[in-house]
Structure 1
Amino acid sequence: MRLLTLLFAWGLLTGPAFGQTADEASAPTEYTFRFVADNDMFYIPWNGNGEELERLLACIAGNRTVIADGTVPVLVDGYCTSQATADENLAMAKTRSNRVKTELILRGGLTEACFTTHNHTSGGNLVTVRIVIPPAPAPEPAPQPVPEQPEPAKQPEQPESAEQPVEQPAPQPAPVQSAPTTESVSDRASGLALRANLLRWATLTPDLGVEWRINSRWSLGVNGTWTSWSWNDKQRRYALWEVAPEVRYYMGKARRGYLGLLFKTGAFNYKFSETGRQGDLLGGGLTGGYILPIGKRLSLDFSLGLGYLNADYEKYEVIDGVRVRQGSETKEWWGPVNAGITLKWNLF
């Protein structure tokens, strides 16, 4: 009798535990991206990061609706332990988190509002992304077939006043509604960006421009360049102005590579030796390049243009402070006509 009592009590205590299923609490799906110590760049092909990113993008694509409306947040945690101080570790962890989020914004169609970010000064050199997917509702049990009943024996006819049974219509299944589709951010991206060619600035030639992204594929831009230097009691001269409009077509899923058409016009005055050259230039050609994101709004634009330039100029010498014309020439050039490492700042 005592043994039966103990077994009954044990069954009462363990019964709820056996009744709980795995669907009652959803476990987060975690993705880990490794970073090189003392470096904040996100190397996608390195140490399994590429495969992990593809798994994460597939998860985002399958749950885009609930992520975009804020039902399911994307939890990002950045970690760094390779720096000398806690402040430096926290700053690098923040930069690493932003690198990963930039990839998800550009390739996954997310926005900054989709993320919840925390950064830490311990735990290694990595970034983790967690998405807690709520469990799917349990399917309704399928209706069980009703066994056939033997035909009852014929009853004698009842008087007309007797109530007749009324057949109830069978319940109809509810129509299945398809989930609404969500348009990717990259399919409708547009905006305005400022840009500056760092190669021009390195040669003391200030250069500024603007680019209008009409849609995710096409953009219009223009860069302007101006400089004027003289030295050695004005015996040496370097002056230039240029205007270069350009139209671009962006290619690929991430819209980073592009091809374009460039036109440029301007004037110059060079005197690096005894003979100076002053005139006009005109030309253009095909351009190509690649955009490398370095932050939420900043990116580097690597570009090269090939085409034709024509320069009409006069040669001169400076004698007693007076320019003396020495003739004129025309030069034509086929080859590289433009090169740039351009810093772009996306305004919106």
Structure 2
Amino acid sequence: MSRKITFLTLFLWLMTVTFPVIAQQKADTTCIFRFVPQKDMFYVPWNGNETELAHLLEYIENNKATILDGKLPLLVDGYCNSKSCEVKNLATAKIRANRVKSELIIRAKIKEENFITHNHATEGDFVTVRLTVPLKETAVTDAEAEARLAAEPTVADRRERQKAEAEKAAQQNTLADTPSETKITTDYHLSLRANLLRWATLTPDLGVEWRICPSWGIAVNGSWTSWTWSDKDHRYALWEVAPEVRYYMGEKKAWYLGALFKAGQFNYKLSETGKQGDLMGGGITAGHQLRLNKALALDFNLGLGYLNADYEKYEVIDGVRVRHGNETKDWWGPINAGVTLVWKLF
């Protein structure tokens, strides 16, 4: 009797090990497609992409009916971190994901609605395609079948759940693809500048700024004017060139510190004595850019530092300029101020 009990126990154990019940299990299949850094072209015969594509097409073909019915979406994630800023990384990741999807749509004869797409400005230069393939079920007991049937949602429940998941995925995808306001403020490389304070004093002022990256920029402003009146007895003329290196700070990269160099020439005669000569100096600048819209901003800035002016004094007698010696002056304090209109070109 004891031998029968032992044999029965061993038999039941073997049945459990040899014939496991596999019900409603799923296996994740992920294929990775590599991209050249900073590029968005999908090169199929490169870096293992052809092999990955062949595997993926086989999985799709084996589950095509389920995919086309919308019950088995393909999860596509585009990645890029080789561009200069987050906005460009997201844009490149989106193009890469779309190129992979286009290849699958053409080759596997599936549709755009069979994909759920997310894009990321992190990790590397690749696109992943993942689908959760259901495994084949083996035999189950009547009790398990009844329990599974009772737990199975109705057709209406499945449709509601699929609709909710699709809406959630679309919302997440939109948030991933849409640059935030913070990103917009840093997404430009070249802009035109005009110091409105200088223009208010009838001194035309124009410049450019090249943003190397979101945190660093190089700006160059130039001014020029030449005015005479009272039969040339009064004169106001100058030219200046002021290159500047800036470091932008904060989440929105709106505040900045900079180093300014200034050089130029001037000719002022607003009273009986005129002054004509050269100026040169430099200092530290600070400012804030107020974003007006995607293309325009106002730049408020102030510079403190040192200026040296080496000039000659003169008088005009009967239309003739009479020189009255040279002077040199040093100045410590404000050397630059501006309310500058910034126009983003690209």
User: TM-score, structure 1 length as denominator?
Assistant: 0.51
Q: Paired residue for 1:328? A: 326
Q: Output aligned runs, 1:69-148, within 5 Å.
A: none
Q: Paired residue for 1:253? A: 251
Alignment of 1:241 onto 2:239: yes
Tell me the amino acid that sits aligned with residue 317 of structure 1. E
Q: Paired residue for 1:27? A: none
What number of residue pairs does the alignment pair up? 192
Q: SS of 1:199's equivalent?
A: helix
Tell me the amino acid that sits aligned with residue 269 of structure 1. N
1:186 is displaced (CA, Å) by: 6.5
Q: Paired residue for 1:136? A: none
Distance 1:168 1:287 in 2: 77
Q: Paired residue for 2:316? A: 318
Residue 278 of structure 1, aligned match among 276, 279, 285: 276
Q: Paired residue for 1:216? A: 214
Q: Paired residue for 1:48? A: none
Q: SS of 1:200's equivalent?
A: helix
Q: Paired residue for 1:167? A: 18
Residue 339 of structure 1, aligned match among 337, 340, 343: 337
Q: Paired residue for 1:295? A: 293
Query: Which structure shows the higher helix fraction?
Result: 2
CA shift digits 1:95-154 (9 cap, x unpaired): xxxxxxxxxxxxxxxxxxxxxxxxxxxxxxxxxxxxxxxxxxxxxxxxxxxxxxxx9784
For the 8 Å contact 1:186–1:216, the answer to whether it is kept is no
Q: Among the aligned pairs, what percent are the same residue?
A: 63
For the 8 Å contact 1:225–1:243, the answer to whether it is kept is yes
Q: CA RMSD in A?
A: 3.0
1:168 is displaced (CA, Å) by: 3.5
Distance 2:307 2:16 in 1: 97
Q: SS of 1:214's equivalent?
A: strand
Distance 1:152 1:254 in 2: 76
Alignment of 1:182 onto 2:182: no
- The 1:252–1:166 alpha-carbon spacing in structure 2 relative to 1, beyond 3 Å, is closer
Alignment of 1:263 onto 2:261: yes
For the 8 Å contact 1:210–1:221, the answer to whether it is kept is yes
Tell me the amino acid that sits aligned with residue 211 of structure 1. E
Q: Paired residue for 1:192? A: 190
Structure 2 portions without partners, runs of 5+: 31-76, 78-117, 123-178
For the 8 Å contact 1:310–1:331, the answer to whether it is kept is yes
Q: SS of 1:309's equivalent?
A: strand
Tell me the amino acid that sits aligned with residue 289 of structure 1. G
Distance 2:186 2:28 in 1: 32
For the 8 Å contact 2:313–2:323, the answer to whether it is kept is yes
CA shift digits 1:59-116 (9 cap, x unpaired): xxxxxxxxxxxxxxxxxxxxxxxxxxxxxxxxxxxxxxxxxxxxxxxxxxxxxxxxxx
Structure 1 portions without partners, runs of 5+: 1-150, 159-163
Distance 1:261 1:293 in 2: 22
Distance 2:248 2:29 in 1: 39
Distance 1:259 1:213 in 2: 14
Q: Paired residue for 2:51? A: none
Tell me the amino acid that sits aligned with residue 18 of structure 2. E
Q: SS of 1:337's equivalent?
A: strand
1:181 is displaced (CA, Å) by: 3.6
Q: Paired residue for 1:207? A: 205
Distance 2:5 2:219 in 1: 87
CA shift digits 1:253-278 (9 cap, x unpaired): 01000000000000000000010000
The structure 1 segments of at least 4 consecutive aligned residues displaced by more than 3 Å after TM superposition are 151-155, 168-190
- The 1:154–1:260 alpha-carbon spacing in structure 2 relative to 1, beyond 3 Å, is same
Tell me the amino acid that sits aligned with residue 214 of structure 1. I
- The 1:176–1:283 alpha-carbon spacing in structure 2 relative to 1, beyond 3 Å, is farther
Q: SS of 2:198's equivalent?
A: helix
Q: Output aligned runs, 1:147-162, within 5 Å.
A: 154=7
For the 8 Å contact 1:297–1:345, the answer to whether it is kept is yes
1:320 is displaced (CA, Å) by: 1.2
1:296 is displaced (CA, Å) by: 1.5
